[in-house]
Structure 1
Amino acid sequence: MEIGKLVKMANQIALFFEAEPDVNVARQGVANHIKRTWEPRMREALLQHIEEKGGEGLRPLVIEAFRHHKELLRPRSRS
């Protein structure tokens, strides 16, 4: 999946949670939603986009959610 589509989807999720007055709850909401509904390759691609490109095009809440909940969102390696 191309990064532009992932950015668009993540931003839509963030728009929903931006109405939450508590930023910690909003970050957790974004992270939980993405963890539950996105496949690991999608999460890894967005995490890589944040790490390599600073999250270009992403709403700040998405970037914050990934930075604060990286371990939750990083796909587990298969050993």
Structure 2
Amino acid sequence: MAGDIARNFEAMGHENAVLATADHIYQFWDPRMKAAIFADDRSKLLPIAREAIEHLASKGDPGSQTRATKFNEVDGVGRSDAG
């Protein structure tokens, strides 16, 4: 799934796509999903997805990168792809 997200942001350019992918994972992924991807072998991920996970692991929240993640600031509910 991280690769699919990364592919969707590719058109933004590499660095922006890394931060947007990290933002999406930070905002919307369930804690269990985050724990699983941090534990997985990152070498199999696309470079954008791998760097996004590395950013989250070392620096944490990348800040809002796309309008799609700003809605969560309104009431704090959701925070997952499931709605």
TM bucket, shorter chain? 0.5 to 0.7
Gap regions ≥5 residues in structure 2: 62-83
CA shift for structure 1 position 17 = 1.0
Aligned position for 2:2: 10
Per-residue deviation, residues 7-33 of structure 1 (Å, max 9, x unmatched): xx1111010111112x22211100111
Instruction: Report the TM-score when normalising by structure 1.
Output: 0.65
Pairwise CA RMSD? 1.6
State how far apart, in whole Å, the 2-side matches of 1:46 and 1:13 are: 14
The sequence identity of aligned pairs, in percent, is 35
What is the one-letter code of the residue matched to 1:34? I
CA shift for structure 1 position 47 = 0.8
Moved runs in structure 1, 4+ residues, more than 3 A? none
What is the one-letter code of the residue matched to 1:14? A
State how far apart, in whole Å, the 2-side matches of 1:56 and 1:12 are: 16
State which of 12, 33, 44 in structure 2 corresponds to 1:20. Answer: 12
